[in-house]
Amino acid sequence: MKNYQDGGEAIVEAFRNLGIKYVISSPGSEWSPVWEALARQKHEKNHGPDYIQCWHEALAVAMATGYTWITGQAQAVLVHAGVGLLQGAMGIRCAMQAEVPMLVMSGESITLGADPGLDIEPQWYGGVSPGGADKLVAPFVKWASHVPSAPTLYQCVIRAGEMAQRAPQGPIYLDVPLEHMLEDWEPAGALRPVPPAPRTQAALAELEALAADIAAAKNPVIVTDHSGRDAAAFPALVAFAEAAAIPVIGGRGTSYANFPTDHELWQGIDAYGHLADADLVILVGGRTPWYPPKQRPSPGRIVAIGDHPHKEWLIYQDLHADAYLEGDIAATLAALTPMLQAGIDANAKAARRAKWAGESAKAMNALQGERDAAAAEGGLGPASIAAAMHAVMPAETIYVDETITHFPPLRKHLPMTAPQTLFRHTGGALGQGLGLALGVKLAAPERPVVLFIGDGGLLYNPVLPAFGASREHNLPIIVVVMNNGHYKAMRQGHVHHYPDGMVAATELTMGIEIQGPDYEQLGSHFGISGVRAETYGAFKAALENALQETSGGATVIINAILPD
């Protein structure tokens, strides 16, 4: 048995020094050097990344994303040449938009059988080698390039991992020639573990200016929609809001748990009415918070906090910001909070807190009333399904969402009292929910994970590969199919533009109906049980059972039949 010290070892050593925990891969024949190095790592009982096998690239990318949502740490995704990369492309682009650090690599041959001294498998000459796969993804990753030579391979991977982790975080793609991986590798001197990326923060004068604005404001309001992307920003936002008794509303783009929904200062999602008489709006992590964008949301001054508020992947954006505090959100809030304590009158602060506690109680009681009424009525819809979540699921449950029309009514009801209790991807790209939820579970095995997914959305997912991964890697999740039997979004959109048209007036619908399968049976080949629920009572019982079954190790599907 030969002990190869080649480019495969260089890559795995770089992964070790980057602290990468998982190599998540859908295979291709370029990866034998890495497999050889990983096999050696196992044989020699060396520390280093575990290998997660996936049957589809979309699943591999989504699992890496879900894992990184929880841990913040980039993982390695190895796919095949150009074809595998393109299968994973949608998820890679979403990772860019959601600022998820990731190291994506695929390989190809660059000698293609023309080198008499190197016997390369024949398939590469004949279309498998794309001749620089970086061009396939360059427009929508943070950086895409190729590894220029065998001696540069190790540092190329290190640099890619370090870049991915810097703001704005995002996926880096490397095209790795098979020939460089097959070449002998000698480390150039001692190798170092890579230090963590530092947190950045706005300048002191800018922080002081906002602290002064807050001290002078009579009616400040915080709007947040993606600060909870970083778990540390959740308690940091609580401390910041409490320091000056500032109410917090969730913006229209809320796709993470940003602030505890049971906190006195929490006013609910989409509660934009509170901005009408605000004299200071502090936007904490906002991408497209105001709609329509031409309309300024408030007469008050708007200060935007975020590490890079202008998202280059958006074709249009108007934050209406009068000032920016650029830097890591958690670090910026943590620096601001002690500056607030001195400047604010204690009586005014107490009065403001009491006022907003009252407003919060009103809003939260109204939502509770909606849930109670929906549960008592007995049918299934976002409010009654949320009622069941409140009744059955523990506070640490992580909700992953890939629904469409059900998301806004569901989101406002979900209990998000702890950090990292909600994750939803950006960009409206269906087909990743199962992988995202599995990746979240991989990172948080002790926490229950519930995936809400539309019937249409589920059918865009690599369902068999995902259920295979759930079984093979022991990742039990609860899949709630929000099954209304159609693409409701398509119907809504159609009638929006043609309210008096043919489709609105007749049964002649097009692009709307789904002749779907019995979703509860889809996991039967994988030991995954399912149940069909049409009433609140049946759903709640199914959820109780699913919580039990998943803690025993098996994924459960609940096919929730919704009238609409």
Ligand X SMILES: Cc1ncc(C[n+]2csc(CCOP(=O)(O)OP(=O)(O)O)c2C)c(N)n1
Written as one letter, the residue type at 175 is D
* Piece of the chain touching Mg ion by CB under 5 A; list 40-48, 71-79, 482-490, 498-506: 482-490
Give the residue with the Cβ less far from Mg ion, 245 or 533: 533
Residue 489 partner contact from ligand X, Mg ion, none using kind-dependent CB cut-offs of 5 to 8 Å: ligand X
Partner residues linked to 284 by β-bridges: 224, 305
Do 240 and 229 touch, CB atoms closer than 8 A? no
For Mg ion, the binding residues in 91-130 under the rule CB under 5 A are none
Between the two ends of the chain, the Cα-to-Cα distance in Å is 62
d(CA 461, CA 39): 31
The residue within the footprint of Mg ion, chosen from 28, 250, 285, 456 (CB under 5 A), is: 456
Burial (Cβ within 10 Å: 0-12, 13-18, ≥19) of residue 508? exposed
Partner residues linked to 303 by β-bridges: 282, 323
For position 484 contacting Mg ion by CB under 5 A, the verdict is: yes
Give the residue with the Cβ less far from Mg ion, 209 or 429: 429
Q: How distant is the alpha carbon of residue 454 from its chain centre?
A: 17
Give the residue with the Cβ less far from Mg ion, 83 or 514: 514
In the complex, what is the shortest distance from the CB of residue 380 to Mg ion, in angstroms, rounded to a whole number? 13
The residue within the footprint of Mg ion, chosen from 286, 289, 297, 454 (CB under 5 A), is: 454
* Piece of the chain touching Mg ion by CB under 5 A; list 239-247, 483-491, 492-500, 528-536: 483-491
Tell which phi-psi region holds residue 127, choosing left (phi > 0), alpha (psi between -120 and 50) or beta. Answer: left
In the complex, what is the shortest distance from the CB of residue 13 to Mg ion, in angstroms, rounded to a whole number? 47
In the complex, what is the shortest distance from the CB of residue 487 to ligand X, in angstroms, rounded to a whole number? 4
Residue 229 partner contact from ligand X, Mg ion, none using kind-dependent CB cut-offs of 5 to 8 Å: none
Q: How distant is the alpha carbon of residue 35 from its chain centre?
A: 28
Instruction: Find the residue with minimal CB distance to ligand X.
Output: 454
DSSP 269: E
DSSP characters for 492-508?
HHHHHH-TTSHHHHSS-
Do 278 and 221 touch, CB atoms closer than 8 A? yes
Give the residue with the Cβ less far from ligand X, 118 or 489: 489
> Taking the CA of residue 422 as centre, how many other CA atoms within 13 Å lie in the half-sphere pointing to its CB?
31
Give the residue with the Cβ less far from ligand X, 21 or 93: 93
For position 433 contacting Mg ion by CB under 5 A, the verdict is: no
In the complex, what is the shortest distance from the CB of residue 554 to ligand X, in angstroms, rounded to a whole number? 24
> Taking the CA of residue 283 as centre, how many other CA atoms within 13 Å lie in the half-sphere pointing to its CB?
32
Listed in sequence order, the residues at least 6 apart from 480 whose beta carbon sits closer than 8 Å to its beta carbon are: 385, 450, 451, 452, 453, 558, 560
Binding residues (CB under 6 A) for ligand X: these are: 403-406, 428-431, 454-457, 460, 484, 486-490
In the complex, what is the shortest distance from the CB of residue 384 to Mg ion, in angstroms, rounded to a whole number? 17
* Piece of the chain touching Mg ion by CB under 5 A; list 174-182, 226-234, 256-264, 446-454: 446-454
Residue 40 partner contact from Mg ion, ligand X, none using kind-dependent CB cut-offs of 5 to 8 Å: none
Residues that bind Mg ion (CB under 5 A): 454-456, 484
